[in-house]
Amino acid sequence: MAEAALKTAETGPTEERELTDGFHLIIEALKLNGLNTIYGVPGIPITDFGRMAQAEGIRVISFRHEQNAGYAASIAGFLTKKPGVCLTVSAPGFLNGLTALAHATTNCFPMILISGSSEREIVDLQQGDYEEMDQLAIAKPLCKAAFRVLHAADIGIGVARAIRAAASGRPGGVYLDLPAKLFGQVMDAEAGKKSLVKVIDAAPAQIPAPDAVKRALDVLKSAKRPLIILGKGAAYAQADDAIRSLVEKSGIPFLPMSMGKGLLPDTHPQCAGAARSTVLAQSDVVMLIGARLNWLLSHGKGKTWGTEPKKFIQLDIEPKEMDSNVEIVAPVVGDIGSCVSALLQGMGGNWSAPPAEWTSSVSAKREENIAKMAPRLMNNNSPMDYHGALGVLRTIIKERPDAILVNEGANTLDLARGIIDMYKPRKRIDVGTWGIMGIGMGYSIAAAIETGKPVLAVEGDSAFGFSGMEVETICRYNLPVCIVIFNNDGIYRGTDVNNVSADPAPTVFVKGSRYDKMIEAFGGVGVNATSPDALKRAVNEAMDSGKPTLINAVLDPGAGSESGRIGNLNPQSKIRKK
Ligand SMILES: Cc1ncc(C[n+]2csc(CCOP(=O)(O)OP(=O)(O)O)c2C)c(N)n1
Ligand SMILES: [Mg+2]
Over residues 309-321, the pLDDT tens digits come to 999 999 999 999 9
Q: Which of 462, 486, 554 to mutate to test the pocket of ligand 1 (most atoms within 8 A of CB)?
A: 462
CA 388, CA 411: separation in Å to the nearest integer? 13
Closest ligand, as measured to the CA of 565: 1
What pLDDT is recorded for position 1?
A: 46
Say how many C-beta atoms besides its own lie within 10 A of residue 318's C-beta.
Answer: 14
Q: Whose CA is nearest to atom 8 of ligand 1?
A: 410
Give the number of other CB atoms < 10 A from CB of residue 364. Answer: 12
Distance 463 CA to ligand 1 centre (A): 5
- What is the SS3 assignment for 526? strand
What's the CA gap between 244 and 290, in Å, rounded?
A: 14
Q: What is the pLDDT of residue 333?
A: 98
Which ligand sits closest to the CA of 488? Answer: 2
| Residue to mutate (ligand 1; options 385, 411, 484, 491; most atoms within 8 A of CB) | 491
Model pTM score: 0.96
Q: What is the mean pLDDT of residues 375-383?
A: 95
Ligand closest to the CA atom of residue 71 = 1
At residue 22, the pLDDT reads 98
Segment 10-53, tens digit of pLDDT? 555 556 789 999 999 999 999 999 999 999 999 999 999 999 99
Distance 391 CA to ligand 1 centre (A): 22
Judged by DSSP in three states, 528 sits in strand
Q: Mean of the per-residue pLDDT values for the chain?
A: 96
Please state the φ and ψ torsions of residue 346, each to the nearest 5 degrees: -65, -25
pLDDT score of 210: 98
Please give all residues whose beta carbon lies within 6 A of any atom in ligand 1, as ranges: 409-412, 435-438, 460-463, 486, 488, 491-492, 560, 564
Of 169, 174, 168, 164, give the one whose Cα is nearest residue 144.
174
Question: In sequence order, which residues have a C-beta less than 8 Å from that of residue 123 and are 6 or more positions away?
Answer: 117, 129, 132, 133, 134
CA of 539 relative to ligand 2 center, distance in Å: 19
Give the count of beta carbons closer than 10 Å to the beta carbon of residue 357: 10
For 288-355, where are the alpha helices, taking DSSP H only? Answer: 336-347
Closest residue (by CA) to atom 9 of ligand 1?
410
> Which residues lie near ion ligand 2 (Cβ < 5 Å)?
460-461, 488
Cβ atoms 77, 106 nearer than 8 A: no
192-217 pLDDT per residue, tens: 999 999 999 999 999 999 999 999 99
Q: What percent of the chain has pLDDT over 90?
A: 94
Which residue in 351, 336, 538 sits closest to 425, CA to CA? 336
As a whole number of Å, the CA-based R_g of the chain is 26
**Beta strand extents in 180-308 (DSSP E only):** 186-188, 226-230, 254-256, 285-289
Torsion angle of the four alpha carbons 107, 261, 369, 381, in this order, in degrees rounded to the nearest 10? 90
For 87-110, what is the mean pLDDT? 98
Q: For residue 8, what pLDDT is reported?
A: 47
The C-alpha atoms of residue 513 and residue 534 are separated, in whole angstroms, by 18
Q: Provide the pLDDT for residue 565.
A: 87
Q: What is the mean pLDDT of residues 252-259?
A: 98
Taking the CA of residue 434 as reference, the ligand 1 atom at the shortest distance is: 25
Of all ligands present, the nearest one to the C-alpha of 463 is 1
> Under 8 Å CB-to-CB from 6, ≥6 apart: which residues?
151, 152, 153, 187
Question: Three-state DSSP class for 569?
Answer: helix
H or E segment and range at residue 430: strand 428-430
Query: Distance, CA 61 to ligand 1 centroid (Å)?
Result: 27
Rounded to 5 degrees, φ, ψ at 231 are -95, -175
CA 418, CA 277: separation in Å to the nearest integer?
13
Res 119 pLDDT > 70: yes
Is the Cα dihedral 408, 412, 418, 424 positive or negative?
Answer: negative
Question: Mean per-residue pLDDT for 511-528?
Answer: 98
Q: Out of 492, 509, 515, give the residue to mutate to test ligand 1, the one with the largest number of ligand atoms within 8 Å of its CB.
A: 492
Atom of ligand 1 nearest to the CA of 431: 25
Q: Which residues fall within 8 angstroms of residue 453, CB to CB, at 6 or more apart? A: 402, 403, 404, 447, 480
How confident is the model over 501-514, as pLDDT tens digits? 999 999 999 999 99
